[in-house]
Structure 1
Amino acid sequence: MPAEEPLFRVVRGVPTADELAALVGAVLVRSRPATAAAPATVSAWARSGRPARHDTWRASGLPR
């Protein structure tokens, strides 16, 4: 079985094991597909305290 080509090759300098681990970690994080964060669920109770439109606070102070 032939040896596989390495994913990384140091061409200059002598990195420590910690530096190589940091590089591999950074590449792994960047190579993962971005996942959309789940939208925060807001309870009906919390939603009831929020104005429905951006100008409702102004209308609430006007005489009816």
Structure 2
Amino acid sequence: MSAQDAPTTSADAERPPTIEITRGSATEEELAALIAVVSDAYAQETADAVADEPRVSAWTRTQRPLRRPLRRDIPWGRFSG
């Protein structure tokens, strides 16, 4: 038994996954059990694959950005001496 390769295009992503029996013969009950287990695992995986939104704390939002480093090639004031 092998599953089809991962989808590579958006048209392939909309097609449901397929199962191909390559050896032996399975009864209808075995196929139904297989489809139920794989469908449940697939649904659970897609439900768990949601990315969490990054949380920004109030401390991070109110922090001032760091200042740029001092340029040492520009002399200070008029005293370039």
Structure-2-length-normalised TM-score: 0.33
Structure with greater contact order relative to length (CA < 8 Å, sep ≥ 6): 2
Larger Cα-atom Rg: 2
More strand by share: 2
